[in-house]
Structure 1
Amino acid sequence: MEEIDLQTTELQEVSQPPVMEHISAFSPSSSATFEQCPKQWYFKYVAKLPDPKGEDAVLGTFTHSVLELLLQEPADNRTKAKAKEIAREIWPQVEDDPDFIALNLSDVEALEFRKRSWTAIEALWELEQPQGVEVASTELEVKVELNSIPFRGFIDRIEKEDGGLVITDYKSGKAPSKKFEDDKLQQVLLYAAAIEQLDGHRPKRARLLFLNNRDRSNSQNRRVVEVEVTEKNLTQATKKFKRNWEDLNAACTSGIFHAKPQILCKWCSFLQNCSQGQEWVSPSR
């Protein structure tokens, strides 16, 4: 295999076995990354360049872990006090996590991290009453052929409601504006399609719970974003997923992964390896 120059504008000189041979599954997050920027996908999944988690991502993982364990408790035990107990119990695991260690937080910063985490955890009670949720599963790994694509995903929560199922995913980031809600819902709609493929029963609803309540100034941004699962929106979601898979297949065959310079380049872990991204964020632009 020839050495790949990651500084090149387009990876046109790649000489390697077909990348698709090494892709055992395609997830909603992988699909979204490729759609956002094929070059970013290459750096992350093929070149496997360092992609350190930022503080918000590590915080989100901790928050998800606490809520996963909380919802595994009997309904009457799903209290804020129990959530605090769980958070204290698993905190040593967070401190030993390489991603958390890499943040290199001071004692004061670590304390602020814990406060922010608790704010996100506590926000669940602003969005729903967890004692009233009839949990079917938490953090369920799903592997299925979806439109002949090897789909893989982890569903935060599936609950029973009026004889049907509801797909719920926690988000620790800020709630999106109305115009971006449909894009955000693609993930949970794909989960719904996967569940239907597995057991033949279509979930009733799919929803996102946005736990970040720091920005209360914009009341237009809904923190519970949900949609009724229909044949139409499932078809739209799976068609988009298949299109991304086919585009990825074509990129892997050609060895060309185009960059899509945009505002998000500012926060890309691979910016130093991407001349287009550097040009996009350059002050002289």
Structure 2
Amino acid sequence: MPKRLFTATPTKLLNFADCKRKYRYTYLESPRPPKGPPWAHNTVGAIVHEVLADFFGRWPAARRTPDEVVAKMRSSWRSEGFRDERQSLDWRERSTEMVLGYLRDSDPYYEPRGVERTVGFTTERASLRGRIDRIDERPARDGSGGTELAIVDYKTGRRPLTATDARSSLAMALYVLGARRVLHRPCTRVELHHLPTNTVAAADHDDESLARHQKRAESMADDAAAAEARWAEGLTPAEADAAFPPEPSALCGWCDFAKICPQGRREAPTREPWAGLDEPSPVPLDEAG
């Protein structure tokens, strides 16, 4: 019988690599342990992504105007995670200005090759898939007269991004491989569009760099598949804790399950839900978007 492939997204793989205890709580426990309150910075990111998906993927050109963007931001806004109504309204306006600034020079008639497009590919060991914020089709830079794809990922975190962030992103590399497989077009370019600074961190992959990322993803998938197989056999609570140990770090304060993880609480104080908006301390890079 052929070996069953382990199916995963970049987010799932990175969760396993970052903290196996969090992975267990997120993907294996049933019912899932209660999570902490929603994060305000995640609310901002989710709404910004929604509006940009509408702008590029659902609205006709005639609707792609600043007034429509403002109206959509206000109608889509949610107050989840904010300290109070005043902070929520302040961030609604700041986020609206951020999106307007990003779209200021956009061609309303431009149609991306894909918006919120799911792509995937399989290897001998894993089935990997993910959803891309935007796929652009642009003139090929090799002078051939053809076109090539570029993977675009929106980022709304505090930290400015660099080409190293783009090049080292596992998710972005897997998106390149998935887009090639699904859309049958050349693709090497990855871009992180950082809306708070309205900057683009770009990098180009080659076959060697993509092979490294694929090998890394397959190794992570092998380890996660083995851990899940152990879980399926049935484990005592002590065995489960040993098989899925916590990996405490400074980011534990941002974990959704911090309140039920004593090791994480000892490593870092639990953050308030709005702390990611106001403090320059480490906030996780939203790796998959």
One-letter amino acid matched to 2:66:
K
Q: Using the alignment, how far apart are the partners of 1:133 and 1:236 within structure 2?
A: 34
TM-score by length of 2: 0.73
1:274 aligns to what? 261
Q: How does 1:46-85 map to 2 (within 5 A)?
A: 46-47=28-29, 48-51=32-35, 52-72=37-57, 73-74=59-60, 78-85=64-71
**Partner deviation per Cα, 1:62-110 (whole Å, 9 max, x = no partner):** 101111111134557544333223324x42xx44xxxx4x537643233
1:16 aligns to what? none
The answer on 1:172 being equivalent to 2:150 is no
Decide whether aligned partners of structure 1 residues 173 and 130 sit closer, same or farther in structure 2, where only a CA change above 3 A counts. farther
Q: Using the alignment, how far apart are the partners of 2:212 and 2:43 within structure 1?
A: 32
8 Å Cα contact 2:64-2:108 kept in structure 1? yes
8 Å Cα contact 1:70-1:86 kept in structure 2? no
Q: Gaps (5+ residues) in structure 1? A: 1-20, 214-221
Quote the RMSD (CA, aligned, Å): 2.9
**Partner deviation per Cα, 1:108-146 (whole Å, 9 max, x = no partner):** 2331231132133124147x6354754111111224424
Instruction: Quote how far apart the aligned CAs of 1:203 are.
Output: 1.3
Q: Using the alignment, how far apart are the partners of 2:63 and 2:187 within structure 1?
A: 27
Q: Gaps (5+ residues) in structure 2? A: 140-146, 232-242, 270-289
Count residues in correspondence.
245
Q: Using the alignment, how far apart are the partners of 2:163 and 2:220 within structure 1?
A: 21
Decide whether aligned partners of structure 1 residues 30 and 176 sit closer, same or farther in structure 2, where only a CA change above 3 A counts. farther
Decide whether aligned partners of structure 1 residues 104 and 56 sit closer, same or farther in structure 2, where only a CA change above 3 A counts. closer
Q: How does 1:1-285 map to 2 (within 5 A)?
A: 25-47=7-29, 48-51=32-35, 52-72=37-57, 73-74=59-60, 78-88=64-74, 90-91=75-76, 94-95=77-78, 100=79, 102-103=80-81, 106-125=84-103, 129-131=106-108, 133-162=110-139, 163-176=147-160, 178=162, 181=165, 185-213=169-197, 223-255=199-231, 256-281=243-268
One-letter amino acid matched to 2:43:
V
**Partner deviation per Cα, 1:12-51 (whole Å, 9 max, x = no partner):** xxxxxxxxx9x98311111111111111111122222233
One-letter amino acid matched to 1:112:
D
Q: Using the alignment, how far apart are the partners of 1:116 and 1:265 within structure 2?
A: 28
8 Å Cα contact 2:121-2:177 kept in structure 1? no
Identity of matched residues, %: 23
